Amino acid sequence: MNGLPIDVDLAWESLPALFDGLKVTAILTALPLLLGLALAFPICFARMSDRRWLAFLAEAFVTFFRGAPLLILLYLVYYGLGQIEALREGPFWVLFGSPFGCAIVALSLNHAAYMVEVLRGSLLAVPHGIVEASEALGISRRNVFIWVKMPLAIRYGLKAYQNEVVSFIKGTAIVSVVTITDLTAVANSIFEQTYDPFTPILCAAAFYWAFVNVVRIVFDLWGRWLNRHNAEDAAAAAVVPGRGRSLRSASDLKQVTP
């Protein structure tokens, strides 16, 4: 019986290599998620600032890095920055001289740009009356942000964040173009060695699928824990119109707030 497009032996033999690839993909997901989020906070504050020039700079950052295709951004960082001699001689070459460093930089910038908007939309979705109530209690601005705005914003933005993380994970596959052997690159190299067009790619797809679903389960548990205050409404709150990168604006988020 050879109706299956999959060569089971090859799949089995490829497992260790695919796992190594998955590890690289996981690292290339985790680091930019952390760095991008850390970068998104100050840029989001700038974006929401009353100072026009600051808000403008932040908006320019978002427009540029959200608009720039990730592949081209990666090329620019990897090939483009290497043309600058001062950079090649400078201390940052440790980072920009390596494909891994370049991938981290490009992915982080891309993720940060998206997260600025996710964060901003979530913060804008916090009902104004609740913020006023905190202020009327004499709670300082900083504490209102930490104890009231942020906890609510996380709840409102969780689904949008999950969408961003999931599409981001799959987006990391492009790092193979700058010689990094992530999951996709491993599958490609097995294809090139065996000329089996299906087995390695389908196995890699299964790995991505499993990875994304582990992330989904973590998000679901997190969301359920956060929304324990209205357990019956949690399902309703979880319904987000559209999927993937379509949910970006504050108005989209407002529709899903409970």
Q: Which positions lie near another protein, rule CB under 8 A?
A: 127, 129-130, 132-140, 143, 147-148, 151-152, 155, 226, 228-230, 232-233, 258
Q: 224 vs 243, which CB is nearer to another protein?
A: 224
Residue 171 identity: G
Q: 16 vs 258, which CB is nearer to another protein?
A: 258
CA 138 to chain centre: 37
Encoded tokens for 177: 């173009």
* Closest CB 251 distance from another protein, rounded Å: 21
Pairwise CA distance, residues 89 & 110, whole Å: 26
* Closest CB 155 distance from another protein, rounded Å: 7
Encoded tokens for 107: 């992915």
* Closest CB 151 distance from another protein, rounded Å: 5
Q: 133 vs 218, which CB is nearer to another protein?
A: 133
Distance set, CA 168 to CA 8, 17, 36, 115, 145 (Å) = 30, 22, 11, 11, 28
Q: 118 vs 126, which CB is nearer to another protein?
A: 126
What's the first-to-final CA gap in the chain, in angstroms? 54
Distance set, CA 255 to CA 157, 162, 190 (Å) = 12, 17, 46
* Closest CB 118 distance from another protein, rounded Å: 19
